[in-house]
Amino acid sequence: MRAQSRPTGLYASAAIALGALILVSQLPLFAGARGQLRGTLAPLEAGSTAMEAAGGRVLSVFGDIATLRSDDQRLSAENARLRSQVAELQAAGAENAQLRRDLQFERSFGHRLVAAQVIGRGPDAFTRTLTIDRGAVDGLQPGMSVVTGAGLVGRVREVAAHSAAVQTVADPQLRVNAYLVASGLEGTISGGEGPLHMDVQPRAGAAAAPGEWALTSGIGGGYPRGIPVGQVTRFDRREASTVQYAQLAWANDLSQLDAVLVVVDFQPR
């Protein structure tokens, strides 16, 4: 009986202590300290990301060696070299295309942007977040919008000196007010498992069509107006319902995001 109650007591004490920590850490007074504390692990995340990339290259080399054994050595080596060149060119091309797209976006967007590298991601599916290698010293502040040339990524949630945490549109906890370009319907986009969801306010005679783009509406002052969020893939129209529902394909892919742009001259209200 004693053995049973001792762990229970320990767990209960720890749970109470953690509950207190959660509440204290949410106080605005400690927001800066919390961000700084989290920033201390950013170099580890950056190092881990770099190591992972290096590991991937090493693994691909082992894969090439296995192929070499089964084929003619000289031809395979030549082949591997050419494939490596093609992969490097493709990677450079993709990076170039993304940079061109981002540059074009910055020119046409009309806001001042700061480029940042993605060095970490949210620890689980319940928080779809990113850690980036820019922070307070680069002018970042909580609430700032984060974008790519493709569209909205999310918003800065916490800032340390040299890193920041970004809550993405795919995070189930984030809401983005948006409107549909062709139909003019407005609503709120939220993330989660799979595609984005948009709760659409119905308007008589108006209906969204697949392929239609959803852009930030600027309502609520959280984001600049006109940033692409996603494209409608499905629209459920129910005449009697007070809210209609659309499914969207996000303009960005969380797993493919390596670099982002932070809008530093738009202050959310």
Partner 1 sequence: MSVFAQAGLLLAAALLQVTRPEAPNAVLALVVARAWVAGGSAGLLWALAGGLWLDLMGIGPLGGHALALLVAAYLAVLLARALEHPAFSALAGAAGGAVYGLVLLLLSDFLGLAQVSPRTGALLLFESAATTAVLVPALVLVMRRVRRRTAAAW
Q: Give 113 or 257: the residue with its C-beta nearer to partner 1.
A: 257
Q: What is the rounded distance in angstroms from the CA atom of residue 213 to the CA atom of residue 175?
A: 17
Binding site for partner 1 (CB under 8 A): 4, 6-8, 10-11, 14-15, 18-19, 21-22, 25-26, 34, 37-38, 40-41, 44-45, 48-49, 52, 120-127, 129, 131, 157-158, 165, 167, 172-175, 190, 192-194, 197, 254-255
In the complex, what is the shortest distance from the CB of residue 140 to partner 1, in angstroms, rounded to a whole number? Answer: 14
Task: Tally Cβ neighbours within 10 Å of residue 117.
Answer: 13
Q: Give 38 or 111: the residue with its C-beta nearer to partner 1.
A: 38
Q: Give 80 or 178: the residue with its C-beta nearer to partner 1.
A: 178
Please list, in sequence order, all residues whose beta carbon lies within 8 angstroms of the beta carbon of residue 77, skipping any fewer than 6 positions away. 68
Q: What is the rounded distance in angstroms from the CA atom of residue 229 to the CA atom of residue 269?
A: 20
In the complex, what is the shortest distance from the CB of residue 113 to partner 1, in angstroms, rounded to a whole number? Answer: 22
User: Helix 42-70 crosses helix 73-109 at what angle (to 10 degrees)?
Assistant: 150
In the complex, what is the shortest distance from the CB of residue 240 to partner 1, in angstroms, rounded to a whole number? Answer: 20
Q: Give 37 or 65: the residue with its C-beta nearer to partner 1.
A: 37
Place of tokens 């927001």: 31
In the complex, what is the shortest distance from the CB of residue 15 to partner 1, in angstroms, rounded to a whole number? Answer: 6
Please list, in sequence order, all residues whose beta carbon lies within 8 angstroms of the beta carbon of residue 110, skipping any fewer than 6 positions away. none
- Helix (H) and strand (E) counts for the chain? 4, 12
Distance from the first to the final alpha carbon of the chain: 56
Q: Give 41 or 181: the residue with its C-beta nearer to partner 1.
A: 41
Q: Give 21 or 94: the residue with its C-beta nearer to partner 1.
A: 21
Contact 229, 212 (CB under 8 A): no
At 145, which helix (H) or strand (E)?
strand 145-147
Q: What is the rounded distance in angstroms from the CA atom of residue 163 to the CA atom of residue 142?
A: 12
In the complex, what is the shortest distance from the CB of residue 125 to partner 1, in angstroms, rounded to a whole number? Answer: 5
In the complex, what is the shortest distance from the CB of residue 109 to partner 1, in angstroms, rounded to a whole number? Answer: 25
